[in-house]
């Protein structure tokens, strides 16, 4: 995003400079008589020997110069200018990044998370969970295999660790530090940072496996378009009206493609740039990566709150499906009718003989 | 009330890197870290080559301080920006935010894992008891507590690098500029109208 | 009512997410939660400086007296002015 704004700014600056120059070119002499900046500075140095302005202009330019000190960017005196989304003017890159982090991300990001949380809770208290219409039959179907559940919970638990430690690093200074004091907070944040660094690769691997195993079932189907109809979605959430769907419904597919796949790619790419500072990437690259990382993280956390709500208290019986792997025929029929019809009586996918596997007691009582 | 500042006179710096060495020696700076560095502009261009020594500038509104997730920075009453290495988590945010590239991280493990941040302390140590062994180990010498000024500025051979109370070094620099008769043109007629007498008519704009 | 309180509490928490002022005053001194640093003037001058207060090396100050420490620092600062040090 910032790259684009920089590009646009560069183009507009070029247009500003080129505009008048192009207009003047025919009237004046040839273009090659316009002195180059270096030449102009040399002339000024001769005419005004005490004028140090060119030196200080150079200092502010952010260009690499000569230094005998080894290390990356040690030859830059002051970081070049940058402008992040929402900023009206260029400032030194570090300062621009600080304004973006401490202004845009903490303010809008913090509000977004709080508002989503409040909206979900308000909805829950106002409308309650999505309920089953008929009593469970007691006949179970296999909804998720052991491997699928291992992958899901690996991703879910590592995501929660990453999200909590990331939020602590962003907001802990304001929320937690005044409560628990600097020593304990610094220890916790240090722990959080190390967990963040070491859990992240595990999360990436889990997401890759998850995308591979669920890709086929998440391919969009015509029936899923109903999930783009606000009236239908409202009917589902508020009045428990069923929208027929295959193994995954339209909402789950949006979460899969936009969240699990899309946001994970942004998070993983930007996170890896930040995680391995030993590849000689510049500060500008890491600032850009951080901006993507934090912005995507805010969206990811908000979306995951929705997913966690739906998977636990928002939809009756949903948590048990992922916990135990089995679902009741009634639940399957009322939530994933097409999948139910496809696999009813299919012994390979799920037994329908009425036997309750030991691991799936959650559907027995009228849960 | 003293306000500690650095000032580097680009007319005088001869790129001897003595300040860098003095700093490393005085503070026993960790391997791979240079709290101060000398950068040369237009290196090798006759008449245009200027060198500047740069380190932490102890900003009044310090970006490092503002972005630190654990709030490990503090500013002393003399305007020196210091930090507590016991709190630092090595996230690198101060390094992103600093315009001058002052905060640096000794490598603490594989894959460039960052250790505790290290930067110029204006030879004022850190929050450990002044002049203690612990303070020296973590932050280097506390020369302010010894009644001295930063080693880099005090040993600068051409006195290009001035360090100390802002009022005093401003006086020294002003005095110097008046004596050598150059440097002040940045503000005056020379900049606005080129060489000429004060009060002369400004140059005519070029016809388009 | 509980819900309202919860919302208000959440809003209150987020309202903290701004930058704090970087002014050195009594309040910010208290807000800094890390280890306290001692002031440079709260130290004894070095032994040799004490023995010869007006020696070349380091003029002396009185422990705990900020004004005298600053006077000594400024005097030492003047040594960076070679025009005064060497004379004209």
Which A residues, 61 through 80, put their C-beta within 8 Å of a C-beta on chain B? 65-69, 71, 73-79
Are residue A75 and residue A36 in the same domain, yes or no?
Answer: yes
Among B147, B156, B162, the residue with its CB nearest the CB of C61 is: B147
CA distance B125 to B140: 6
Among A318-332, B40-54, C20-34, C37-51, which is the least confidently predicted range?
C20-34
Are residue A243 and residue A116 in the same domain, yes or no?
Answer: yes
The domain spans of chain B are 4-186
CA distance A361 to A333: 19
CB contact under 8 A, A41 and B48: yes
CA distance A131 to A313: 10
- Interface probe with C: pick from A97, A118, A125, A189, most Cβ of C within 10 Å: A118
pLDDT at residue A300 greater than cutoff 60 = yes
The SS3 assignment for A26 reads coil
Range of the domain at A312: 95-143+215-363
- Tokens representing A350 are 């799920």
Measured CA to CA in angstroms, residue A338 lies from A233, A252, A320, C47 at distances of 18, 15, 20, 89
Strand partners, B68: none
CATH number of this structure's domain B4-186: 3.30.70.20
Nearest to residue B112, comparing CAs of B95, B134, B137, B136? B95
pLDDT digits (tens, 9 = 90+) for A105-148: 999 999 999 999 999 999 999 988 888 888 888 888 888 999 99
Please tell me the predicted confidence (pLDDT) of residue C56: 54
Four-residue CA torsion sign, B68, B74, B79, B82: negative
Measured between CA atoms, the residue of chain C closest to residue B142 is C40
Total tally of structural domains belonging to chain A:
2
Q: Between chain A and chain B, how many beta carbons pairs sit less than 8 Å apart?
A: 155
Residues of B in contact with C19 (CB under 8 A): 66
Please tell me the predicted confidence (pLDDT) of residue A55: 82
Q: What's the mean pLDDT when you consider all of chain A?
A: 83
CB contact under 8 A, B97 and A98: yes
On the CB side of C31, CA atoms within 13 Å amount to 15
Are residue A347 and residue A255 in the same domain, yes or no?
Answer: yes
Among A73-87, A231-245, A295-309, B57-71, which is the least confidently predicted range?
A231-245
CB contact under 8 A, A182 and C33: yes
Question: Which chains are within 8 Å of A by 3+ CB pairs?
Answer: B, C
Residue A181 gets the label, from left (phi > 0), alpha (psi -120 to 50) or beta, of left
The SS3 assignment for A66 reads strand
Nearest to residue B148, comparing CAs of C61, C79, C53, C73? C73
Strand partners, B81: B75
Are residue A134 and residue A61 in the same domain, yes or no?
Answer: no
The domain spans of chain C are 39-78
Strand partners, B75: B81
CB contact under 8 A, B168 and C74: yes
CATH number at residue A286: 1.20.950.20
Among A125, A171, A182, the residue with its CB nearest the CB of C17 is: A171
pLDDT band at A32; cut points 50, 70, 90: low
pLDDT band at A26; cut points 50, 70, 90: very low
How many angstroms away from the CA of A12 is the closest CA of chain B?
A: 24
pLDDT digits (tens, 9 = 90+) for B76-126: 889 999 999 999 999 999 999 999 999 999 887 777 788 999 999 999 999
CB contact under 8 A, C42 and B130: yes
Are B126 and B29 a contacting pair, CB within 8 Å?
A: no
How many angstroms away from the CA of C13 is the closest CA of chain B?
A: 17
SS (H, E, C) chain A: CHHHHHHHHHHHHHHHHHHHHHHHCCCCCCHHHCCCHHHHHHHHHHHCCCCCHHHHHHHHHCCCCEECCCCCCCCCCCCCEECCCCCCCCEEHHHHHHHHHHHHHHHHHHHHHHHHHHHHHHHHHHHCCECCCCCCCCCEEECCCHHHHHHHHHHHHHHHHHHHHHHHHHHHHHHCHHHHCHHHHHHHHHHHHHHHHHHHHHHHHHHHHHHHHHCHHHCCCHHHHHHHCHHHHHHHHHHCCCCCCCCCCHHHHHHHHHHHHHHHHHHHHHHHHHHCHHHCCCHHHHHHHHHHHHHHHHHHHHHHHHHHHHHHHHECCHHHHHHHCEEEHHHHHHHCHHHHHHHCCCCCCCCCCCCCCCCCHHHCCCC
pLDDT digits (tens, 9 = 90+) for A318-344: 998 999 888 888 898 889 988 888 887
For chain C, report the end-to-end CA distance as a whole number of angstroms: 81
Please tell me the predicted confidence (pLDDT) of residue A261: 95
Please tell me the predicted confidence (pLDDT) of residue B193: 52
Mean pLDDT score, B10-39: 92
pLDDT band at A359; cut points 50, 70, 90: very low
Percent of chain A topping pLDDT 70:
81
Strand partners, B51: B40
pLDDT digits (tens, 9 = 90+) for A45-87: 677 666 677 788 888 888 999 999 998 899 999 999 999 988 8
Mean pLDDT score, B133-147: 93
pLDDT at residue A21 greater than cutoff 70 = no
CA distance B111 to A197: 11
Four-residue CA torsion sign, A304, A307, A309, A311: negative
pLDDT band at B175; cut points 50, 70, 90: confident
């Amino acid at each position: 995003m910032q790259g684009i704004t920089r590009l646009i700014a560069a183009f507009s600056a070029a247009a500003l400079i080129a505009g008048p120059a192009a207009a003047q070119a025919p009237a004046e002499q040839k273009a090659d008589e316009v002195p180059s900046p270096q030449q102009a500075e040399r002339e000024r140095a001769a005419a005004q020997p005490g004028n140090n302005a060119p030196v200080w202009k150079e200092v502010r330019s952010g260009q690499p110069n000569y230094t005998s000190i080894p290390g990356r960017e040690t030859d830059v005196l002051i970081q070049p200018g940058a402008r992040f989304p929402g900023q009206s003017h260029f400032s030194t890159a570090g300062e621009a990044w600080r304004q973006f982090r401490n202004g845009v991300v903490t303010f809008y990001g913090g509000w977004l998370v709080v508002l989503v949380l409040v909206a979900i809770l308000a909805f829950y208290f106002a409308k309650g969970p999505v309920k089953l219409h008929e009593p469970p039959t007691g006949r179970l179907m296999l909804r998720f295999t052991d491997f699928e559940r291992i992958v899901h919970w690996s991703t879910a638990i590592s995501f929660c660790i990453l999200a909590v430690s990331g939020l602590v690093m962003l907001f802990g200074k304001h929320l937690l530090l005044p409560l628990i004091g600097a020593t304990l907070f610094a220890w916790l944040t240090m722990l959080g940072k190390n967990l963040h660094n070491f859990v992240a690769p595990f999360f990436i691997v889990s997401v890759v496996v998850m995308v591979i195993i669920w890709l086929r079932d998440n391919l969009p189907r015509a029936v899923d378009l109903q999930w783009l109809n606000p009236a239908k979605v409202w009917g589902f959430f508020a009045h428990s009206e069923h929208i027929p769907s295959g193994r995954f419904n339209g909402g789950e597919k949006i979460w899969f493609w936009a969240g699990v796949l899309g946001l994970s790619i942004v998070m993983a790419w930007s996170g890896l740039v930040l995680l391995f500072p030993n590849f000689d990437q510049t500060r500008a690259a890491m600032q850009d990566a951080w901006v993507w990382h934090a912005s995507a993280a805010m969206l990811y956390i908000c979306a995951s709150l929705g997913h966690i709500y739906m998977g636990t208290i928002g939809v009756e019986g949903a948590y048990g499906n992922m916990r135990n792997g089995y679902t009741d025929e009634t639940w399957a029929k009322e939530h994933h009718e097409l999948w139910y019809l496809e696999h009813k009586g299919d012994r390979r996918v799920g037994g329908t003989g009425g036997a309750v596997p030991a691991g799936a007691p959650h559907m027995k009582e009228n849960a | 009330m003293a306000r500690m500042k650095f000032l580097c006179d680009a007319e005088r710096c001869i790129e001897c890197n003595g300040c860098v060495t003095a700093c490393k020696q005085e503070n026993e700076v960790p391997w791979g870290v240079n709290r101060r560095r000398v950068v040369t502009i237009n290196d090798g261009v006759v008449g245009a080559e200027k060198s500047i020594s740069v380190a932490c500038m102890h900003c009044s509104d310090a970006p490092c301080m503002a972005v630190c997730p654990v709030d490990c920075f503090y500013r002393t009453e003399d305007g020196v920006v210091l930090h507590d290495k016991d709190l630092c988590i090595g996230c690198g945010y101060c390094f992103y935010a600093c315009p001058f590239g002052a905060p640096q991280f000794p490598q603490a493990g594989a894959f460039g894992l960052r250790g505790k941040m290290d930067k110029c302390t204006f030879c004022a140590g850190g929050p450990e008891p002044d002049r203690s062994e612990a303070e020296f180990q973590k932050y280097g010498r506390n020369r302010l507590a010894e009644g001295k000024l930063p080693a880099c500025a005090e040993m600068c051979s051409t006195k290009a690098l001035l360090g100390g109370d802002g009022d005093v070094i401003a006086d020294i620099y002003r005095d110097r500029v008046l004596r050598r008769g150059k440097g002040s043109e940045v503000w005056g007629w020379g900049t606005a109208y080129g060489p000429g007498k004060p009060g002369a008519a400004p140059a005519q704009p070029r016809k388009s | 009512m509980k819900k309202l309180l919860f919302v208000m509490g959440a809003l209150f928490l987020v309202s903290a997410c701004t930058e704090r002022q970087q002014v050195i005053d009594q309040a910010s001194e208290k807000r800094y939660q890390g280890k306290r640093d001692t002031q440079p003037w709260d130290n004894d001058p070095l032994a040799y400086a004490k023995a010869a207060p007006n020696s070349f090396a380091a003029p002396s100050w009185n422990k705990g007296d900020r004004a005298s420490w600053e006077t000594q620092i400024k005097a030492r600062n003047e040594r960076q002015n070679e025009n005064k040090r060497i004379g004209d």
